[in-house]
Amino acid sequence: MKKEYQSHLSEEEKSILVNKGTEPPFTGEYDSLFSDGEYLCKGCDSTLFSSVSKFKSNCGWPSFDEGVSDNIEQKVDKSLGRIRIEIICSKCNGHLGHVFEGENYTMKNTRYCVNSLSLKFKSNKK
């Protein structure tokens, strides 16, 4: 993660966004949130996901079947002895989580599995 986006982050948030950690399943504040709004990067405020694309996957982390494509990059992650696709914020390079395909949760057949600590929610309610 770019240094200029780290100063306001807590140690827990840095462990995810900077050090590519993972919060324990079913502990994040956004896992069960299904309000109307947008999910922004906790590091730089880029819009990453809409509540319209969020779905209940029962995996323990917020799940989306679509992201804001220009704001999310994908990289091959060979950690943990397997190949996964890491998702990072295009603006600040903060680690968000991973994306999985072929699980048949939604018609788009894609699951962006995201750490709540890498996000902040902005409600659409006026």
Q: Which of 41, 89, 92, 113 is catalytic?
A: 113
Q: Outline where 24-83 has alpha helix (H).
A: none
Give every residue of the chain whose pLDDT is below 70, as ranges.
Answer: 126
The pLDDT of residue 69 is 87
What is the CATH superfamily name and number for domain 3-123? Peptide methionine sulfoxide reductase. (2.170.150.20)
The pLDDT of residue 125 is 82
Domain ranges of the chain: 3-123
User: Is 113 labeled as catalytic in the residue annotation?
Assistant: yes
Q: Checking phi first, is residue 80 left (phi over 0); if not, alpha (psi -120 to 50) or beta? A: left
